[in-house]
A and B are shown apart, each in its own frame.
Chain A
Amino acid sequence: MIELRLYLQGEGQDAERIRDLLSREGFRLMESSEDGSEARSVVGFDADLSSGSHREPLLRRIEELERTILELRNLDVAKSQFLTNVSHELRTPLTAIVTYGEILRDGLLGEVSPRQREAIESMINSCRQLLSMIEEILTYARTNARAITLQPTPFDLEEVVGHVYEMNASLIRQKNLHYRAEVGSGLPPVWADRDKVIHVLGNLIGNAIDFTPSEGGVHVTARRAPEDPRWVQVTVSDTGIGIDPEHHEMIFQEFAQVDASRARMHHGTGLGLAIARKFVQLHGGKIWVDSELGAGSRFSFTLPSVEAQETLGAA
């Protein structure tokens, strides 16, 4: 006699479905609370696999489940492929609109009045906003469609922080924000994928600008991580609207926006932080937020320095 004992852990609804399924297949079900955790629902069962009446349905069911898993995986790849194609198709005409807008704005097809120029400029800015959202969806689809590989090199954060500032300088000026960056002297170079770090930092600084009212402050620091000095901790803090602690986990999830009014006020796909977290985790680092409603936000992430890399390499 072979005894199979299976404990299922998960949301109540899933456990319920599996319980039904197993009952239909003729298994004797036992409730168990050995785990002691109230958050999880646990279902256990014993089955005598030597008896044909249990063995056949179980094997059939396993095969079915395997097929379902394969179908779902294929569907997920197809979904990512679809997102990639749609994003590409959306981006192409938008690129044409931006280019035509710039041709008109720069007076290549005839002189434009200051008010016309202003109107064209608004059109171009809106298109660029739309394009950056499409880029974000595209990046997300790519990070899901296949494993992305890092191309790490050693580089100084100071230069990258300056680069991301330059990318956002006009927005910072427009809102008259007080921007300050402090990269600790003697900070070792990080060992990371430069493009991805720019993406993460760009996202955090972009959010800080979006969610901070005019005249507010945005502050970027980089220093050795307190819990392991061979890692570098980058922090972007702002004096903006802040985030309720109950939403701190949710904002790193795909397609999450704290509430619809915020989404309307602050454009965005809800993918930025999910992508940022993915990129940071690929480096073995972590990303988190400290914030209270109305008290500004402080986002931090860690990256390995070349010193951590040497240790990893030696291990």
Chain B
Amino acid sequence: MSEGRGGRTVLLVEDNEAIRNAFTILLEESGYRTLSAASGRAAIDTAERELPGLVILDLGLPDMNGLDVARHLRGNAATREMPILALTGRALEVDQEACMAAGCTGYLTKPIDTEQLLGVIESYLGARE
């Protein structure tokens, strides 16, 4: 798998296990493959090794700022083009401009509406199978 999983694989970066599992079920039942990471460090390692087609990145991680994860992925030639969808609390918490400046390609605020999330993922990865 030297070319990476790409395509319809989504890397879920979320430190809360219940939310991570819920998103995993949601995406897998909707026809996507998923990988998951519970920390910033694990997210970077997994993204660089597996080259998923999309990263869904919770900005509140235990070990690093989510925006630093985005900057790191932007700085690496292999992951430079990888779409990154940031998830955070209300718009007041992290400003959207800072998010885009760090290299995120999209932005959703919690609580996530699952239909909206699937719509956005579809816009990145193409229609469900």
Question: Could you list which residues of chain A lie within 8 angstroms of chain B, going by C-beta atoms?
Answer: 88, 91-96, 98-100, 102-103, 106, 108-109, 127-128, 131, 135, 138-139, 142, 148, 151, 195, 199
Contact = CB atoms under 8 A, between A and B. Distances in A.
Contacts of B90: 135, 138-139
Interface in B78-126: 89-93, 95, 110-115
A123 to B, nearest CB: 13
16 contacts: A88-B89, A91-B111, A92-B19, A95-B16, A95-B110, A96-B18, A100-B18, A102-B113, A102-B115, A103-B26, A108-B30, A128-B111, A139-B92, A142-B93, A148-B92, A151-B95
A142 B95 CA distance: 13
A91 B58 CA distance: 14
Which interface class (under 10, 10 to 19, 20 to 34, 35 or more) fits B? 20 to 34
B111 A103 contact: no
Given A93-B18, A138-B90, A103 B110 contact: no
Contacts of A109: 25, 29
Given A95-B111, A103-B26, 10 more contacts: A95-B19, A95-B110, A95-B112, A99-B22, A99-B111, A99-B114, A100-B18, A102-B113, A103-B29, A106-B115
Q: Which 7 A-B pairs have the closest CB atoms?
A: A96-B18, A99-B22, A108-B29, A102-B114, A96-B19, A92-B16, A98-B111
B124 to A, nearest CB: 19
B23 A99 contact: yes
A148 B93 CA distance: 11
A122 to B, nearest CB: 16
A195 B97 CA distance: 13
Best-buried of B18, B19, B60, B111 by chain A (most CB within 10 Å) = B111
Interface of B: 16, 18-19, 22-23, 25-26, 29-30, 60, 89-93, 95, 110-115
Nearest to B23: A99
Nearest to A148: B92
Contacts of A151: 95
Contacts of A108: 25-26, 29-30
A92 to B, nearest CB: 5
Contacts of B111: 91, 94-95, 98-99, 127-128, 131
B10 to A, nearest CB: 15
Contacts of A131: 111
Contacts of B113: 102
Contact of B26 (A99, A138, A142): A99
Contact of A91 (B29, B91, B110, B114): B110
Given A135-B89, A138-B90, A100 B29 contact: no
A96 B95 contact: no
Contacts of A199: 92
Contacts of A94: 111
Contacts of A92: 16, 19
B19 A103 contact: no
Nearest to A102: B114
A91 B26 contact: no
A272 to B, nearest CB: 14
Contacts of A95: 16, 19, 110-112
A99 B19 contact: yes
